[in-house]
Structures are given as C-alpha cells and as structure tokens.
C-alpha cells in the first residue's frame, strides 16, 4: 500500500515536473558538451598526432606544422572555456547572466511566477521550458495510469525521459546522441530481461535488431534511389531502442505513425513555412511520437493493420 502512493499518477506527475526541468538542461547542454568533446578529441588525438597523420596520409612523416599549431590552439582555447556539465554551473538567464534563485528555478511554478520574464533584465524566457516540464509530468502520470502504481513503471518513465530529451535535441540540432539512444536500447533489453516491461526478451532482442535493420535498409534504398541521405544513424538506434522496449510486433505501427505525421508536417512546412525540400527534417521527434503512441495504444494500433492479432 505504502509503495503504491509513491508510484501513483500524482506522485509520478511531480517527479515528471522535476525530471522535465532536468531534461531542459540536458537538451541545452548535452549537444554543447559533446561538441566541445569532439573538438578536443580532434585536436588532441588526430590533428596534431603523428601516428594518426601517418594512418590518414599513408606515408611516414610528421603532420604539417599548421595542423600541429591548430591542434594546440584548439586545445588551449576550448580547454580554457569555463567548465560545463549537466550539474554545473547553475541555470542562468541567457541574456544577462542572472543566476536563477531556487524559487525562480522551480519547474513550471518558477516560470509562471516570473510571468515568463527574467527577474533581472526582463527579457522573455522561452515557453518551451514550462511546456517540456508539463509534457513530461503528463507523460509520467499517464505511465502511472497505464502500467500501474509500482516500481517497474519507472522503466517506462525513464524511457519517456530519454525520448523527450532525444526529440528536443533532434529538433535543435538534427542529431541524436548515442548517449541517449544506446541507453534506451539497454533499458528496453534490461526491462524485458527482468520482466518489468511485459515484453519477452525474445521480442525485445528481435525488436532491437529489426528496428535498426529496417530503417537502415530504408535509408540505404533511399540513398540508392535519390542519391541523398534521408535519415541518420541516430534514427536507426532510436527505433532499435523502441523495438527493444515494446517488442518487434509494434515496429510497423511506430514507423507508420511516425511517417504519416512526418509527411503531413513536412508537406505543411514546405508549403507554408518556406522550408526547402533538400534541408533534412529531423525524423527523431516523429519516431518519439510514434513510440509514445505505441506505449499507450499499442494493442489497438496493431489490431488496425493486423486484425487477426
């Protein structure tokens, strides 16, 4: 009884508000942190490195001096930037640098009390922050209703959190980091192995494989036909994660839903938004939408295209 209170939809909604607030930080900082890491990596282990130069150029000798200088410059400049992690520094106003006080940083309430403006300089704070917090809270509560008030429901909440972060980062950068896609695959397989997701380990494993392989095949054929990349590897890994979580049986529903919504939005963007046809539209948010729909309406969705099931 006691544990049921902790995992009730209301408690999960509160947890979702806080996690949503953290996801805003993740969406903002993780791409920056990764980009810095790539620059440092490139500078330290490739650009100025003799062995790397010899592998790339195919003959012996030192890398050109300009490369070595550039490597040192990048390492110095990027290394000297104030450190950035998910925990530090505290949240600041992007316009004036005002450090948010604890009550300004409260999920949803902070934004509402400030009426969406920085208390120091008055510049607008994006509506996206409270919306992400609210959406995460609603999805966590929905997990509580759908999967029951017990600890295993946290697996679904964790999956939702990863998916929300992926959708935001893909929207911002058209990139899906491995740091988010791979944990979703792991979570799906673990949840299935422990019997927490109701997906058998067999359908989770096939789901991970088929999720990756089907989109890879689609992207490969598209590239052969059209000569351009339609999708990124991140999308394959995201669908592998959804397959591991929900089982291979739900993959067709997820992809159909994602494509249908993606096509409608894509056409609308090209028609009304002045979006150029060649600029890739991130597919991740639609896959996430399809995945979330499949989490809650999976049985019904599968029955539509596979009536005998």
Minimum distance from CB of 57 to Zn ion (Å)?
50
Q: What is the DSSP string of 214-249?
A: HHHHHHHHHHHHHSS--S-HHHHHHHHHHHHHH-GG
The piece of 1-9, 114-122, 149-157, 172-180 that touches Zn ion (CB under 5 A) is 114-122
Minimum distance from CB of 118 to Zn ion (Å)?
3
> What backbone phi and psi angles, to 5 degrees, belong to 124?
-65, 140
Q: Which is nearer to Zn ion, 95 or 299 (CB)?
A: 95
Total residues in contact with Zn ion, by rule CB under 5 A = 7
Footprint of Zn ion on 115-134 (CB under 5 A): 118, 120-121
- Cα separation, 224 vs 247, whole angstroms: 29
Q: Which is nearer to Zn ion, 112 or 124 (CB)?
A: 124
Question: Residue 143 has what DSSP assignment?
Answer: H
Q: Which is nearer to Zn ion, 121 or 194 (CB)?
A: 121
Q: Which is nearer to Zn ion, 28 or 98 (CB)?
A: 98
Minimum distance from CB of 27 to Zn ion (Å)?
20
Q: Which is nearer to Zn ion, 98 or 275 (CB)?
A: 98
> What backbone phi and psi angles, to 5 degrees, belong to 92?
-130, 160
Token pair belonging to 283:
């597919």
Minimum distance from CB of 91 to Zn ion (Å)?
11
Footprint of Zn ion on 178-237 (CB under 5 A): none
What is the per-residue binding string for Zn ion in 35-64, x denoting contact by CB under 5 A?
Answer: ------------------------------
Footprint of Zn ion on 83-112 (CB under 5 A): 93, 95-96, 98
Minimum distance from CB of 22 to Zn ion (Å)?
21
Contact predicate 220/165, CB 8 Å: no
Minimum distance from CB of 126 to Zn ion (Å)?
13
Minimum distance from CB of 96 to Zn ion (Å)?
3
What burial class does residue 176 get, using C-beta atoms within 10 Å of its C-beta: 0-12 exposed, 13-18 middle, 19+ buried?
buried
Q: Which is nearer to Zn ion, 112 or 121 (CB)?
A: 121
**In the chain, where does DSSP find H-type helix?**
2-6, 9-42, 50-57, 65-80, 109-113, 128-147, 153-173, 178-193, 201-226, 233-246, 251-272, 284-305
Contact residues for 260 (Cβ-Cβ < 8 A; gap 6+): none
Closest residue by Cα to residue 284 from 254, 245, 250: 254
Q: Which is nearer to Zn ion, 118 or 294 (CB)?
A: 118
Binding footprint of Zn ion on the chain (CB under 5 A): 93, 95-96, 98, 118, 120-121
């Amino acid at each position: 009884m006691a544990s049921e209170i902790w995992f009730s939809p209301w408690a999960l909604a509160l947890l979702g508000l806080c996690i949503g607030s953290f996801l805003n930080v993740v969406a903002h900082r993780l791409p920056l942190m990764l980009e810095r890491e790539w620059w440092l990596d490139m500078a330290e282990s490739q650009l100025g490195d003799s062995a790397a130069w010899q592998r790339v150029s195919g003959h012996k000798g030192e890398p050109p001096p300009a490369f070595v200088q550039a490597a040192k410059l990048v390492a110095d400049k990027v290394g000297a930037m104030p450190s950035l992690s998910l925990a530090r520094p505290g949240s600041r106003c992007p316009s004036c640098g005002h450090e948010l006080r604890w009550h300004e940083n409260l999920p949803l309430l902070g934004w509402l009390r400030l009426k969406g403006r920085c208390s120091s300089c008055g510049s607008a704070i994006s509506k996206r922050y409270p919306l992400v917090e609210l959406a995460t809270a609603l999805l966590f509560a929905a997990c509580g209703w759908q999967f029951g008030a017990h600890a295993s429901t946290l697996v679904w909440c964790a999956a939702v959190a990863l998916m929300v972060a992926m959708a935001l980062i893909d929207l911002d950068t058209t990139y899906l980091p491995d740091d988010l896609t791979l944990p979703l695959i792991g979570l799906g397989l673990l949840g299935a192995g422990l019997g927490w997701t109701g997906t058998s380990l067999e359908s989770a494993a096939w789901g991970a494989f088929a999720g990756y392989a089907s989109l890879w095949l689609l992207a490969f054929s598209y590239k052969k036909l059209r000569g351009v990349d339609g999708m990124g590897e991140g999308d394959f890994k995201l669908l592998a994660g959804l397959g591991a979580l929900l089982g291979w049986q739900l993959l067709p529903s997820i992809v159909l839903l994602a494509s249908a919504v993606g096509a409608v939005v894509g056409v609308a963007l090209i028609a009304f938004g002045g979006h150029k046809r060649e600029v890739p539209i991130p597919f991740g948010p639609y896959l996430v939408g399809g995945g979330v729909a499949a989490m809650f309406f999976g049985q019904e969705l599968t029955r539509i295209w596979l009536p005998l099931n």
